[in-house]
Structure 1
Amino acid sequence: MKIAILTLPLHYNYGGNLQCYALCTVLKKMDHEVQVIKLIQDIQLPPLKQRPYLYTKRLINKILGRKYSCILAEQRLIKDRDIVHQYADEFIRKYIPCTNAQYASNEELKEISNLGFQVYIVGSDQVWRPKYAFPDIRAFYLSFLKKEKVKRIAYAASFGTDENEYTKEQQQDCGILIEKFDAVSVRESSAIKLINDTLLWNCKQLQQVVDPTMLLDKIDYLKLVNQQFPAPANGLFYYILDMTSDKKRALDDICRKTQTTPFTVFPKSTLPDSKVEDKIVPPVEEWINAFEKAQYIITDSFHGCVFSIIFNKPFIVYANANRGVARFNSLLKLFHLKDRLIYSAQELNIEKINAPINWHQINQIRKEQTELAMLFLKKNLQVPQENVT
């Protein structure tokens, strides 16, 4: 079948790119023709009326020596974008089949109906979180489709939170749209409760499935790593999206108690006015390699947690409240790993850090969950009998 995947715009996010890669890979192995709808979310300049105030404020911050005080930050980001994202762009071009056309609005998305897709799959990642949805949350419920008869499926769609972040209008519109879906699967157990008890939506075949990255094995990811990347022999890989002083304390504490050497895969700087070479996002292959080489891992990233499980590495997850804790709770509960989650460095002790992980049990759970997810896909991607000749 000819399948279109709709996920958040692809850029330099390791987890976002790999979940899309994994779903494409699985569907292609099932002999489907797959394309990802190429959403383009360009960096926007501030509104003209706001610029004098905004630029003056940034100038004052710069004079005072404060961070994040680049006066023309947006212009600098636009100028440096292709260099900063070069490795991510290369990975997407090489491994993720995207539509030739690019789409930046709901109106443009309406043209997709002319491409002859038989199935539209929404997911995975936080596609149903309004603040992340581009161009509009309704698009991720396929509002742009005309009345043609196509299959609509959600695979491991995530709200990112167990709170209702929808406006009344969004809740009503998306509730009508989701009823048109032939099957709905969500990534978090909390999403089922949110849909049934809070949003009060009617969904067909509503169930929880694992993130698509878990449908592939460690060996599948290591096949992508075709060069050597530096990593200490006894290294602790830290992948922290939002570093704080308390997270730094947790990192230092684990290093000290495990006698490991910290290393990361992250740009040297994320400040807009830094040198462009310091802002380059390292290759996803280096990120994968870090999980293979690490002796221990600490992360505040959902996919950092997922890949720690895939690679069977001892890890600690520092809850990232700003990005959504429900994702971590659901994943860790599923794998009986909630003791790996902390909210502050004070919770760390040698017993928690060195607590054994039953990888045999966890790998068995992942095997069972993968089978359930594959059954969901196979069942809902069957060619209707009347179309078989």
Structure 2
Amino acid sequence: MRTCGRVCSLAALAAIALGFAGQCVAADAPPEGSELARKIATVFEQAKQSVVAVEYVVELSGPRGQQRLTGATMGVVASKSGLVMIPGTALQVSPMNPAFGLVSVDAGKFTWIKVISGTGAKFDASFIGRDEDVNLAFIQVAAGQEFNVPPLAFQHPSLRAGEEVLLVSLLPRKYGYEKKFLLTRINAVVDKPTRLYSAENLPLDFIGSPALTLNGAAVGIVGRDMISVGGSGGLEEFAPNLMILPTSAFWRFILNPPVKKAPKGWLGIEMQALEPDVAEAMGLPQGAKGIIVSRVFKGMGFPAEKAGLQAEDVITHLDDKPVDVDKPADVAVFRKMVRDAGPRTDVAL
């Protein structure tokens, strides 16, 4: 069977079972005897009930004054009370060019939100907040409505490279928000600074999609890891690549959703990894790990300046916790430690 990503509807299950990728062919039902097709059909039919469309109107303030945007995104129902997760970058600055200018959902003020179930029923909802590290936002269906969309029960199993997962998303409004799926394969597991799964051929229109094993376990959400792609000192860059965030990355927000924009800690420095050859040149003990302060932002009152940090300072611990960084790829470990400490929090370096 081909290992590339495959996006189809139930009508294409026969093609998938035969190993054809990228084709959707008419079929009344999966061929008898196709175990893979039956698994996909079962998982897809169950999971798609918890995937909804979310339409919105939002007002943005900018150099040209107020801008009123209308749009739609997908959502995943996460609790019986009507908590819905949506992508944190759902708003299009330029509706005429959807590929350009996605901004965070907390950049403006929502004036209207509707959650649309698979039956077409519409429900009023309100914006709660967004966490910028996992790049997920949360809305709440208003009380007093007969909202009976079943929540997706996320689980916490670990995935392995080579394992197949099913993603569920939506077609555009002109197709009635019909559900679609993509069958893809985990091709890498990242453990620092937090666990992430890389998968083959994740298209942009699957941002916010739930990821499920072929046994039906919901194990994550397609999104962006904003900590690892951030610039030095926390100045974030918007990376085009998508990853699968495991349940552990956002579970705490299902239990306690962020209000407005979840605050994060910030030092105000540029930094680099304390690599072994650099540590040796600086006369540090063998095996020393940490980060080197390469620049302190001055004149803006950031914590690093107030604390007297200087360029070439080496930070090996934060609140007695070792900074396990000895290569550039691990700088995000320290960034996460600082951000998780929260704003206006005293830390010992």
TM-score, with length taken from structure 1: 0.23
Quick check: which one's helix share is greater? 1
Higher normalized contact order (CA 8 Å, seq sep 6+, divided by chain length): 1
